[in-house]
Amino acid sequence: MEDNKNIKKNIVSEDLPRRPDGKIDIEKISLGKSKRNNDIVPDDLFDKYYRELPDKVENASGSWRTVSTGGKIKIFGADPVADLEIQRAGANAVNAAKAQQRTFKEVIEEMLVNPASDKAIEELELRPDATNLDMIIAAALKQANKGNVKAMDFLRDTIGQKPTENINATVESITPEDKALLDRVAARLKNDNS
């Protein structure tokens, strides 16, 4: 087996064995199987041809493996120090991307304070320094004046005068014990609020 490994390590790239369909003949360059049952090829061949190698082929140093998309992925566990550095770099990249993301609320608040368009200022008869928020309120008022109930509800709710809704539900599968418990809770709440 040792002679076979030396022969395979000395393969020149031009002599790389190929099947009739032009793909690399992995069996002829494989150094054996890894503990994950993947074919192992010399590092130099892996580095040069990983895009052409079949899926799940590892390099001889056990640090990289091919994937079906023609790329390669780091095999974790081969080098704990390097693995930790890669994990930290990935976590830092994710955290940096999250820090740059803005929420819907932030974007909307920013857009609401931007100046309204000249056309909106003219059509809605707004002051010259009106913002998009001023434009939205003026448009809702204009619609409410025309009898648009949804615009009226929007304005009422926005100023905090939305009516509260009381929901009375009946449950048919309630037991007498459940009813007694609910009555005790209601009585306690009534005494707490008094």
Say yes or no: 7 and 69 in one domain. Answer: yes
Q: Is residue 169 part of a domain?
A: no
What's the pLDDT tens digit per position in 30-50?
999 988 899 999 988 888 888
Judged against a pLDDT cut of 60, whether residue 11 lies above it is answered with no
Query: Domain limits at 116?
Result: 104-158
Structure tokens at 180: 């007694």
Say yes or no: 71 and 6 in one domain. Answer: yes
Q: Is residue 85 part of a domain?
A: no
Q: Is residue 82 part of a domain?
A: no
Q: Is residue 46 part of a domain?
A: yes
Q: How many domains does the chain have?
A: 2
Say yes or no: 7 and 61 in one domain. Answer: yes
Instruction: Label residues 167-177 b or e (16+ Cβ within 10 Å = b).
Output: eeeeeeeeeee
Q: Is residue 133 part of a domain?
A: yes
Structure tokens at 89: 């770099």
Model pTM above 0.85: no
- According to DSSP, the β-strands at 32-33 and 72-74 are unpaired
Say yes or no: 71 and 108 in one domain. Answer: no
Task: From 5, 51, 12, select the one nearest 30 (Cα to Cα).
Answer: 5
What's the pLDDT tens digit per position in 49-75?
888 898 899 998 888 888 888 888 877
Task: From 63, 102, 55, select the one nearest 80 (Cα to Cα).
Answer: 63
Q: Is residue 146 part of a domain?
A: yes
C-alpha–C-alpha distance, residues 181 and 188, integer Å: 11
Q: Is residue 182 part of a domain?
A: no
What are the residue ranges of helices labelled H in the chain?
A: 2-9, 26-29, 43-49, 80-100, 104-112, 118-123, 132-145, 149-158, 176-193
Structure tokens at 188: 């306690």
Say yes or no: 6 and 70 in one domain. Answer: yes
Q: What pLDDT score was predicted for residue 1?
A: 43
Task: From 130, 119, 131, 9, select the one nearest 60 (Cα to Cα).
Answer: 9
Say yes or no: 70 and 115 in one domain. Answer: no
Say yes or no: 58 and 19 in one domain. Answer: yes
Judged against a pLDDT cut of 80, whether residue 5 lies above it is answered with no
Return the amino acid letter for 134: D
Cβ-based burial of 45 (10 A; exposed 0-12, middle 13-18, buried ≥19): buried
